[in-house]
Structure 1
């Protein structure tokens, strides 16, 4: 059953269908507002003893009684002047009450705030209803705060900041008429998200900033131990490459789930009524600490299950499980997953080259592309991103083509040149910017580009551990052996540090299913050779000194020289 408001795990979720504040009067009289005030007062008991004593009248009132008492005072203050209410307890010390208002507003804005409502059959529901409702509530919260602040100060503000006083994001939902198979009946009533609005830049502060452990295959269908617990659940139906993926998530991980809107294409209502290729259960209250996947052969669905645990608040768990299931499904079709980056470089002289770089986390794939942009300067007309982390190679009529999986990029801020994160910050989501492994999710490419067949002109392994420089052409066998070894200098972006090896530099499917991946590697690398694709290594030197960009710059310059060559 959906509640009017949920406040937990440093977030607040408001059900607009049950608790939409149409006016200041409705807001201040609402159970929803009183519940937040009670939450605020209880928080002060340990955080600010003096404020707690002031609000509870030195312990005479319980937190619930104090909340309703203060809400009553605010309703009066919204109508009358301070002079007309001079006998009110909260006006005996206006400075103390102003401090309460300021701290309450700060506490509200320190939460991750989300609103949602049911959608209808209107074709323009999103912009005319969801966005309008949420924008109006944002304006109402801001005006209400300013009203109380200015009345207690006894003067208007001189500087106004149009901050996000309402939600960080909102969304609309609908429910399925029927589920696609009886084994998944427990998911039937979980609302499906069909529209999302993000207020960017969105800054999140997850408790975890690193992924640990592995995704392992099990022979037990996760639906047999699916447990909602006491939490509400939602589903984010999305496209991972060309595959349909339903991500069912525990509402305590709302911020991670909605961040997917910047990374994976949201499926339409019509698509979300179909049988998915992939199902992810995120935050399962099973009492374990597992990250597992299972192949439902009868329904041809790959199912991933991640246990409810504080560590999974790191977005990488959700992203990588989706990609793991995608890779497993694509290998079954004979497609080869590539952990890397693929861009089409268009020069102003009309030259165009498809550049695919492969390597595990921290190898320097994205950094090499950034260095290439800097080296080329104004010679580049356009850099078209096909994928920034995971993609595939498949054959059509013997020709290898690349496709992507994501419409966005999940990037370490430290991996980028200074200033780069700020170019698209107005559209980005920042995660734990105060931590060493700070990340951002930014839009990168339209979905139509991601799933288009793109010609590959260069395929190179990103080598961050060898003391060589530049771009080096190798035999297909040499590159194939290097890729299978998957060697890198791990930089601590996951649980690994130092030299490590991962089968095909890809712990998200190929490593778990090596027997399935091996013949596909042979087929695709032979096709690269047969079609005259440049294959080799690019030396990034990031495993030696991340602050020294010399290796990247040399590699980027030689990469640029390759691109400039006419076919």
Structure 2
């Protein structure tokens, strides 16, 4: 069987307003089926295998596609023994070919789109429309197969072969002003239905490059066709973000649903966003850029159209960079790390924040705590999994999160964790190195409520030590946290030992002058209030067995009970 999921292909957009079939007879007569057949014939012809020779022979691509569809029509209408067709001289090979076409169709990422446009379409009806299409495709497949077999199937697999997800679009008026007038015609996503697990195969499997500030407004060169763009309105921490993306990046745009809370219509209408991301622009500015529109106080991100940008880390980190520079301007300190609120068996709660760059072991430490907790932990609530913000309240250091989900490496999860949560997961190149999954881990209400920081630990993945080490003064702590040292694990284009300002290349590194006084203020407050500040040794850069991080997690758990 050919693995059609290899490599990267543009997603298939199914607009139900233009493509809605009542039954399988309308489907078999559709232009869309003809396009599918032509696409399949083009691919299979290059391989020149048994199926290709059977299907195409000496015919042109168009003739082969047309003849095969004609045979399918005959099968739907007539009994098999009444049909005279060269393709049916070998029914087994015909069925094998039909199965392969079905596999090819299922391998493509397909996204249903429904435009609301002031109609009274309800969420229930929205789901019914998408389910109808999926059931119709399945009915078509089974009808052809069973007629060729001469009997009904004994095993039925109830899949969703038609669409991988469906989105409801709505045109909502917001405070675009003259500057962002070109974006006003782009519809917002108001509802998403995911058919999980969703498997995405982007062209790239890691993020490369840096996030650079630019000083020319991206809208100056923005000249895109609105029909090729969608907007995911996200609540990223306290920020309202309008994330615009080109339709070819639909898998990334839809996957945002597992990471950032989707804003409601009331939260969008007549509002001004804090952040705007333009993902997939036709621009000669390669990589990820950000710009501060001071007049409107909006941070604008720009990412060039490039197949490498299909990797989900690009859209995620661009949005988080925008949020972080916005937080810095509001005198809040962005934290590249993870934070968990742990309720012990005695009812007490400890809020622990970890800081470290990609691959340092932040999320992995939390996962290790979950694995070894047994009857020592009553509850564990994720405050943030990748990015949060510290701020002062009544002299104490508090934290808020940004994401409702986690984008983590499969290798770093507890064995079986990915399967445990498969029904909610979106996988990226699960068969490859640095395979990732994005999965919901918290609620928006929980990540933005604000919790006091009881312990702040640097995730040290480069020293061959185990356990914890506490710092005795501000300067000692700052020297480690600000240096941002780690050993790269291949999650980005970095190799070996690297250093990043405050372990955060997503805002603080670009805004060091503005970030430095925030770091001083926060660390002074941490030590004045006797908050424990130190480092935890994960050894992920020197020993990836996972045993060291478990042992360090055990020592951390013991510390919480002291």
The normalised TM-score by structure 2 is: 0.95
Q: Displacement of 1:308 after TM fit?
A: 0.6
Which residue number corresponds to residue 4 of structure 2?
A: none
1: CA distance, partners of 2:238 / 2:22 = 41
Of stretches 99-108 and 87-96 in structure 1, the one that deviates more from structure 2 is 87-96
Contact in 1 for aligned 2:183/2:226 (Cα 8 Å):
no
Q: Which ranges in structure 1 are unaligned for 5 or more consecutive residues?
A: 1-7
Of stretches 549-558 and 409-418 in structure 1, the one that deviates more from structure 2 is 549-558
1:167 lines up with 2:167 in the alignment: no
Secondary structure at 1:437 match in 2: coil
Alignment CA distance shift 1:553-1:49 (3 Å): closer
Contact in 2 for aligned 1:461/1:479 (Cα 8 Å):
no
Contact in 2 for aligned 1:344/1:352 (Cα 8 Å):
yes
Alignment CA distance shift 1:47-1:57 (3 Å): closer
Which residue number corresponds to residue 25 of structure 2?
A: 25
Q: Displacement of 1:398 after TM fit?
A: 2.2
Q: Displacement of 1:227 after TM fit?
A: 3.5
After superposition, give the CA deviation of every residue in 1:504-527 in whole Å (9 maximum; x if it has no partner).
000000000000100011111112
Q: Give the alignment of 1:146-165 within 5 angstroms.
A: 146-165=142-161
Q: Displacement of 1:530 after TM fit?
A: 2.4
1:294 lines up with 2:281 in the alignment: no
Q: Displacement of 1:124 after TM fit?
A: 7.6
Which residue number corresponds to residue 219 of structure 1?
A: 215
The normalised TM-score by structure 1 is: 0.94
1: CA distance, partners of 2:265 / 2:25 = 36
Q: Give the alignment of 1:267-286 within 5 angstroms.
A: 267-273=263-269, 274-286=271-283
Which residue number corresponds to residue 62 of structure 2?
A: 64
RMSD: 1.8
Which residue number corresponds to residue 254 of structure 1?
A: 250
Which residue number corresponds to residue 401 of structure 2?
A: 404
Q: Displacement of 1:178 after TM fit?
A: 5.6
Q: Give the alignment of 1:92-491 within 5 angstroms.
A: 92-119=89-116, 125-126=122-123, 128-177=124-173, 180-228=176-224, 232-273=228-269, 274-474=271-471, 475-491=473-489
Secondary structure at 2:17 match in 1: helix
After superposition, give the CA deviation of every residue in 1:333-388 in whole Å (9 maximum; x if it has no partner).
00000011100011232121101111111111111111212222122221100101
2: CA distance, partners of 1:276 / 1:64 = 49
Which residue number corresponds to residue 3 of structure 2?
A: none
Of stretches 165-174 and 320-329 in structure 1, the one that deviates more from structure 2 is 165-174
Contact in 1 for aligned 2:117/2:171 (Cα 8 Å):
no
Q: Displacement of 1:179 after TM fit?
A: 5.0
Which residue number corresponds to residue 3 of structure 1?
A: none
Contact in 1 for aligned 2:176/2:184 (Cα 8 Å):
no
Q: Which ranges in structure 2 are unaligned for 5 or more consecutive residues?
A: 1-7
Of stretches 231-240 and 306-315 in structure 1, the one that deviates more from structure 2 is 231-240
Contact in 1 for aligned 2:174/2:272 (Cα 8 Å):
no
Q: In structure 1, which of residues 473, 487, 495 is the aligned counterpart of residue 493 of structure 2?
A: 495
Contact in 2 for aligned 1:90/1:97 (Cα 8 Å):
yes
1:531 lines up with 2:508 in the alignment: no
Q: Displacement of 1:56 after TM fit?
A: 4.2
Which residue number corresponds to residue 503 of structure 2?
A: 505
Q: Displacement of 1:137 after TM fit?
A: 1.2
Alignment CA distance shift 1:44-1:468 (3 Å): closer
Aligned positions, number: 553
Contact in 1 for aligned 2:537/2:552 (Cα 8 Å):
yes
2: CA distance, partners of 1:308 / 1:442 = 26
Secondary structure at 2:555 match in 1: helix
Of stretches 182-191 and 439-448 in structure 1, the one that deviates more from structure 2 is 182-191
Which residue number corresponds to residue 5 of structure 1?
A: none
Q: Displacement of 1:161 after TM fit?
A: 1.5
Q: Displacement of 1:122 after TM fit?
A: 7.1
Alignment CA distance shift 1:10-1:284 (3 Å): closer
Secondary structure at 2:373 match in 1: helix
